């Protein structure tokens, strides 16, 4: 008899706690970022494909599935460190097979040489090139990620990758002050 009572009591308790836990799991569900989104947020979004995947999101998915974290040259060491932090693995140097870390660049079309073939427009992963068939094309500079993908398809080689110019508003303070040049007083 006591055994039966014990079984009933334990059964009822198990049922009650099960219900409470089940309710809590539904009611207080924490919407966490899936790991792919978190990785994607750390990648530089140049969509350049230097990692071997067609864009940053596919690479993020590959990393989530165990690919190496050091295949992103535009992100450089900073991105590798951030990814290592997130994934809980050792940070390693950039894999030079995928390219070298470089200064930020932007594509510029030499407009008088452009023949209007639209090949670069189709190559641009972020739709940053404006133009139409047999019309001159131009790059929307502030949307360009510097991914380099438009250079290859151009049949007349009229696209240059130029470093982003330093302007007073994006200038990094120099710790070494620029020495003052002397201007002779003219009197």
Partner 1 sequence: MSAATKAIEAGHIWTFPGGIHPPERKDRSNTTPIEVLPLAKQFIVPIKQHSGPVGDLLVAVGDNVKAGQPLTQVGINNALPVHAPTSGTVSAIGPGRIAHPSGLTATVITIDADGNDEFYSFTPLADYTTLSRAELLDCIRQAGVAGLGGAGFPTAQKLALQRPLDYLIINGVECEPYISADDRLMREHAQTIIDGTEILLHIAGCEKALIAIEANKPEAIAAFEALLPNYPQLALRVVPTKYPSGGEKQLIQLLTGRQVPSRGLPIDVGLVMQNVGTAFAVAQAVLNGKPLIERVVTVTGDNIAKPGNYWVRIGTTVAELLNQCGFNPVADSKQEQRVIMGGPMMGFTLPDLDVPVVKITNCILVPSNQELAPAAEEMNCIRCGACADVCPAQLLPQQMQWLAKAKDYDGLEQQNLFDCIECGACAYVCPSEIPLVHYYRKAKAEIRNIAREKAKAEVARERFEARQERLEREKQERLERHRKAAEARKKAQAEAVAQGGDNPQDAVQAAIARAKARKAAQAAAAAKQNQEGDDE
Residue numbers at the binding site for partner 1 (CB under 8 A): 40, 43-47, 55-57, 125-128, 142-143, 145, 166-168, 170-175, 177-187
Q: Which residue has the tokens 């790059």?
A: 139
98 contacts: CB under 8 Å, gap ≥ 6: 50, 51, 52, 71, 72, 73
**Strand 159-163, strand 105-109: pairing:** antiparallel
* Beta carbon nearer to partner 1, 49 or 99: 49
Cα distances (angstroms) measured from residue 99 to each of 14, 61, 62, 106, 114: 58, 21, 18, 17, 28
Query: Does 56 carry a binding-site annotation?
Result: yes
Query: Given the complex with partner 1, which of 56 and 159 has the nearer CB atom?
Result: 56
Q: How far is the CB of 35 from partner 1 (least distance, A)?
A: 16
Closest CB to partner 1 among residues 5, 185: 185
Ligand-binding site membership of 158 (annotated): no
The SS3 assignment for 130 reads strand
For the annotated binding site for [4Fe-4S] cluster, the residues are 48, 51, 56, 72, 114, 117, 120, 124, 144, 147, 150, 154
């Amino acid at each position: 008899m006591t055994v039966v009572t014990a079984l009933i009591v334990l059964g009822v308790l198990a049922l009650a706690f099960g219900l409470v836990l089940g309710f809590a799991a539904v009611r207080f569900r924490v919407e966490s970022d899936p790991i792919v989104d978190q990785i994607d947020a750390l990648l530089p979004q140049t969509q350049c494909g230097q990692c071997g995947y067609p864009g940053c999101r596919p690479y993020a998915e590959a990393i989530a599935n165990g690919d190496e974290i050091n295949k992103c040259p535009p992100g450089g060491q900073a991105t590798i460190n951030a990814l290592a932090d997130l994934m809980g693995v050792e940070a390693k140097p950039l894999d030079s097979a995928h390219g070298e870390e470089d200064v930020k660049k932007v594509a510029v079309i030499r407009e008088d040489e452009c023949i209007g073939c639209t090949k670069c427009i189709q190559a641009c992963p972020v739709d940053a090139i404006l133009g139409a068939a047999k019309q001159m094309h131009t790059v929307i500079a502030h949307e360009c990620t510097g991914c380099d993908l438009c250079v290859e398809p151009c049949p007349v080689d009229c696209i240059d990758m130029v470093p982003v110019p330093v302007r007073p508003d994006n200038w990094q303070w120099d710790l070494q002050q620029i020495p003052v040049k002397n201007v002779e007083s003219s009197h």
